Structure 1
Amino acid sequence: MRDQSSPSGGQPTLESVAALAGVSRATAGRVLSGSPRVSPAAKQAVQDAAAELSYVTNRAARSLVTRRSDSIAFVVSESEERLFEDPFFPAVLRGAHKAVSGESVQLVFVVLATPSEHERFFRFAAGGHVDGAMFISLHGDDPLPNRLRQVGIPVVLSGRPFRPDDDIPSVDADNVTGARLATRALLDAGCTRLSTITGPLDMPAAQDRLRGYQDELTDSRRKVARTRTIESDFSTDGGFEAMNQLLRNRFAPDGVFAANDQMAVGAMRAVREAGLQVPRDVKVVGFDDSPLATAAHPPLTSVRQPMEELGREMAHLLMALVNGEATHTSVMLPTELVVRGTC
């Protein structure tokens, strides 16, 4: 029976793994650090030896060689209130976590709500504490992703970049088509006075959903009236306030496309409090197909975007960039209309 401990009788060492595998210490080190510069036979022998000896890599020592932290950041650029109220974020996070759970990679969750938090995260990331970052819910032309890229940290965005000439890799849902489907459903249901409640228009997702709504109306030879477009903030209260504003118009809407489910639920509450009914008086379509849609009364017709898949694809793309297996790429995921009781 072979001695499975280190020469000093303590925990197994890299030397004991190399000896058991019949390779040099350098070869064993390359295998255990993830280097591709080893033969398949040597790789298998070292992995078998490490498993037999219950050898655990010293990550601190490994990071000095590989310059890798084995951590990636999941960054949400929103307030904590918005983060914990919107079911979109945990769904995307769940998908990202599932994607990296088998990769021996730590997912670092970061919330950035202020300029000082943005700067603190930049210093943290640039200091070598993460190998890459995926960004969710950026507003405007946020410089942070490109600052990280300039210091060699790969970045992936949820949603297209704010600037059309920016080449940051991204994963997005087909917001334009989804908004067109929502608008077409309202038109097909007989609505003649359509309105939309948008998200913040410093966000590409909100811009694209507004464009889809406008394009469908234009192609249907319907007037796109500015007074029927209200910008809001993706929150339930925001949808409630925006719907109240629309109901005060001279010609109140009989159909509303809200750019996410939270605002749609808020809009439905405003309709009820005005003494009207959904869908009899006002038909409503949301976007996301989150758990809120099925919990609403009546159940909400909504555009489904694959939120978990969004997180999963972002994580896969980021890991490919970190490992040097990809350069620039963007992924577009499909959307579909789920018809329920509000349209």
Structure 2
Amino acid sequence: MTDTDAQDDETSVTRVRTLADLAKIAGVSPGTVSRALAGNSLVNTKTREKIEAIAREHGFRPNQMASKLRRQKTGVIGVAIPLGHDERQRISDTFFMTLLGHLADELTEKGYDLMLRRVIPAQDEDWLDRLIGSGMVDGVIVIGQSDQFERIEDVADGYLPMVVWGNHQEGQRHCVVGTDNRLGGKLAAERLIASGAKKLAFLGDTQPIEFAARFAGAIEVAEKLGVPIRALPAHLSPERTGEEIAQHLQEIEGKVDGIFAATDTIAVACLKKLRERGTDVPRQIKVVGFDDLPISGQTVPPLTTVRQDIAAGAKGLVDLLLRRLGGDDTESLVLPPHLIGRESA
């Protein structure tokens, strides 16, 4: 007998005791194996047939009690925050904490607990599959599409009880709740220009879908009115934001007189750096943020911003998810933005 024959013979008699054992042989995640053996349409036909064949070959039978438990209600909703575009961002970010607070209130009132996961997709490509297949949650809320749009779209094809906070695009398959970000960007640019700004900058990362839509709206208005606008990348991780903003402000001194910050968090950091430089806001530079977080009315000067109704968004996320848990294939909910005029522009 050759070494190859011996290896093949050893593989053929290997006992597969767990989903993890079977997943290792099939080259997929345990969650994919679980769904394949349950006949879930989330797994494509070719992969499911491959897994079923391997299971038959090894005489594998899934634990019936575990399967039964997975079919029972847990009373828990999984909330995932994927950070594919900025891995060092923190859940302690004011926007996340505001939205999570409202979500916790809504879910608790409906009799559900919340299980929170901060996800780094580069370290866990199957993050959404594993959460759904864990048997620990009845449904999933994803906060932010980040750079995971296609992953979310794929899962939405076969998994109904999932709702996403983010930006809605025509033709997308996953259900989303969020603000009309493009319109919000238009409102911000219009305010800056109406206040006398003649050279604009967008301060923030333009890769995340929501931020890209805000920048696109600002560009539309700026081009229509003949006002130049540039993008200045800024991350949301605390250890990088201040340094990046300080560098940008040094580079654009005298070249920009209106800043549209992608978030209030960035805008607040910008106001701080401008104050440290002795720059008068709004006389020398006007600043508009986005979110209308509680801190925006407490800055010096108070921040003009585009308000997205986070409380209404949280309620919409929970309401749509509960309808989906009941089998209703719901439409997305797009909330209107509102300009909140204060002293910074």
When normalised by structure 1's length, the TM-score is 0.72
- Paired residue for 2:21? none
CA contact under 8 A between 1:271 and 1:277: conserved in structure 2?
yes
Partners of 2:250 and 2:257 in 1: how far apart?
Answer: 10
- Paired residue for 1:119? 126
Closer, same or farther: CA 295–152 of 1 in aligned 2, 3 Å: same
- Paired residue for 1:53? none
- Paired residue for 1:335? 337
In the TM superposition, 1:1-343 aligns within 5 A as: 64=69, 67-78=72-83, 82-117=89-124, 119=126, 122-146=129-153, 148-149=155-156, 152=159, 154-160=161-167, 165-198=171-204, 200-224=205-229, 228-235=230-237, 237-238=240-241, 241-242=244-245, 244-249=247-252, 251-324=254-327, 326-343=328-345
Cα deviation digits, residues 170-193 of structure 1 (max 9, x gap): 001111111111111111111112
1:81 Cα deviation from its structure 2 partner: 6.1
Closer, same or farther: CA 147–216 of 1 in aligned 2, 3 Å: closer
AA aligned to 2:331 is T
Partners of 1:189 and 1:235 in 2: how far apart?
Answer: 30
Aligned length: 277
Superposition CA RMSD, Å: 2.7
Residue 317 of structure 1 aligns to a residue in which SS?
helix
Residue 127 of structure 1 aligns to a residue in which SS?
coil
Closer, same or farther: CA 109–166 of 1 in aligned 2, 3 Å: same
Compare 311-320 and 72-81 and name the one that shifted more.
72-81
1:299 Cα deviation from its structure 2 partner: 1.2
Partners of 2:96 and 2:286 in 1: how far apart?
Answer: 27
Compare 268-277 and 286-295 and name the one that shifted more.
268-277
AA aligned to 2:320 is L
1:121 Cα deviation from its structure 2 partner: 5.8
Which ranges in structure 1 are unaligned for 5 or more consecutive residues?
A: 1-59
1:142 Cα deviation from its structure 2 partner: 4.8
1:206 Cα deviation from its structure 2 partner: 0.4
Partners of 1:117 and 1:170 in 2: how far apart?
Answer: 23
1:219 Cα deviation from its structure 2 partner: 2.1
Partners of 2:264 and 2:206 in 1: how far apart?
Answer: 17
AA aligned to 1:160 is N
Closer, same or farther: CA 167–256 of 1 in aligned 2, 3 Å: same
Closer, same or farther: CA 144–72 of 1 in aligned 2, 3 Å: farther
Larger Rg: 1
1:138 Cα deviation from its structure 2 partner: 2.8
Closer, same or farther: CA 152–189 of 1 in aligned 2, 3 Å: closer
Partners of 1:341 and 1:268 in 2: how far apart?
Answer: 12
AA aligned to 1:322 is L
Which ranges in structure 2 are unaligned for 5 or more consecutive residues?
A: 1-64
